[in-house]
Amino acid sequence: MENYYRAIYFVAGKYPKNVMARIIELSGVEGPIVMEDMYYSIDNEYAANGCFEELEDYFIENGIPFNRDSSSWYGVQPESRIYRPDELDSIIIRDNEGYEYVKTYQIEEILKEENMSDAAKLLSIQELVLEQNPSFTELADYQILWKDESNITPFTPSEDYEPDGVVTLMFIKRDKPDFIEPKVQIS
């Protein structure tokens, strides 16, 4: 297994202590989790295949939005993984400068299609571009709300609030009132 730089970013906010402890454990680093802008960041220079495999699985299982960036290493292209429980789970391959790209053979195959109009070819090329550079909600645009046995209405807990019983974490888009299905239940 090759080792190379990786960083993972996830929604900032108050998490139950046991959830944050599990995130730190699965990240493989002992250092602190850093808050940048409106998201948390965990950096690690050495990683098997540039991924946080167990942590990424944990985030997906629990509906926690995240981004992961891995740099290039001995011929392996840089990549990003973008996970949004309500939008996408996509691995984006980048060039060494960090830009997304579409392979030219894919464009050439479309252009060679004889049974497609020019407009249909253009739409197919546009789909390839959007696949490599999808639009998605930024991590800073999410908010964490809690719901527990004593509070029927979702709420933002105070810093000193500790749950007494089961807690459901909800990740909502700040500009939209609709909730993502809650997935994390903490006892």
Instruction: Round the average pLDDT of the chain to a whole number and report it.
Output: 82
Cβ-contact 145, 176 below 8 angstroms: no
Record the tokens describing residue 136, joined without a space.
């998605």
Q: Which pLDDT tens digit goes with each residue over 99-140?
A: 777 888 989 999 999 999 999 999 999 988 888 788 889 999
Q: Read off the pLDDT band of 187 (50, 70, 90).
A: very low
For 114, residues 6+ apart whose C-beta sits below 8 A from its C-beta are: none
Cβ-contact 71, 78 below 8 angstroms: yes
Q: Which pLDDT tens digit goes with each residue over 62-92?
A: 999 999 988 766 666 778 899 999 889 988 8
CA-CA distance, 41 to 52, in Å (whole number)? 12
